[in-house]
Amino acid sequence: MQKIIPNLWFDNNTEEAVAFYTSIFENSRVGSTAHYDAESAKVSGQPEGSVLTIEFWLEGYQFLALNGGPAFHFTPAISFLVSCENKEKVDRLWQQLSQGGQVLMELGSYPFSEHYGWVQDKFGVSWQIMFAGDMEIKQTITPTLMYVGDMAGKAEEAIALYTGLFDNSRIDNVMRYEAGEEPDKEGTIKHASFQLAGEQFAAMDSAQDHKFSFTEAISLMVYCDDQAEIDKYWNALSAVPEAEQCGWLKDKFGVSWQITPKVLDEWLADSNPAKAQATMKVMLSQHKLDIAELQRAHDEA
């Protein structure tokens, strides 16, 4: 089971987005769908019974799509690097993802790939489409974090924090800016690949004058086995008290995470609506999730 799952916050077009992505990527499927109940509808302002979340897989990699409304918007601070075994796949994905979207880097030849482009699709999600050449593709889709603005130059610190926190983690490769590559500072991260819980991630610094930063529109959801694991991640990552709600937190670099027990999905999907709704009500009242309280609410309903 994938431990860290990117959660994408859509503006009431989750079903359309998931259908689009699973139609263009290989080895893709749609999983379970959750709906707003009375409690979550009241808090969110979304219609009761409307789609809350949809789990889906692209190229075998799991995502969760959330129907959250217009509160948050995607930015290129977190993008998804798609490694392709041939140029034809690059061209196909580029044509499909760029339609109605915005090109961030033109499709062309670059020092790191002879066929690469960066595009923000019609839903706002950013994709880097790259011909891998002779590189072995172990994970086709790689979440990529770009540290910009006040966070430019802090990618290395962030990578050290994350790889030190998650088991089965390591830094695989680091490329650094050299002297003269202004405005980036010499020695900061041009591109780094690393693993968290056995999953591939990438990060980079960019001191260019970007007009965006990390937002809650993309959060990293961490499935936990028990309360000790929740406490471990929460205590190490949470740095913005006002951002803490329903298991969500924001770290000191501005990246949003969701720290959640695996069993919560089962309780929220209980066939007994009273149990599911009681669990949801307690979850919505919590900051860091408390498994014992959630289970008590579920079992006693």
Structure confidence by residue, pLDDT tens digits, 113-148 = 999 999 999 999 999 999 999 999 999 999 999 999
Structure confidence by residue, pLDDT tens digits, 157-211 = 999 999 999 999 999 999 999 999 999 999 999 999 999 999 999 999 999 999 9
Structure confidence by residue, pLDDT tens digits, 219-230 = 999 999 999 999
pLDDT of residue 115: 97
CA distance 61 to 139: 8
Domain boundaries, the chain: 4-71+216-265, 78-205
Which two tokens mark 79?
A: 């993008």
Domain 4-71+216-265 classification at class level? alpha beta
Q: Looking at domain 78-205, does it have CATH number 3.10.180.10? A: no
Torsion of CA 222, 223, 224, 227, to 10 degrees: 80
Cα–Cα–Cα angle for 76, 79, 83, rounded to 5 degrees: 140
What is the phi/psi pair of residue 63, to 5°?
-130, 165
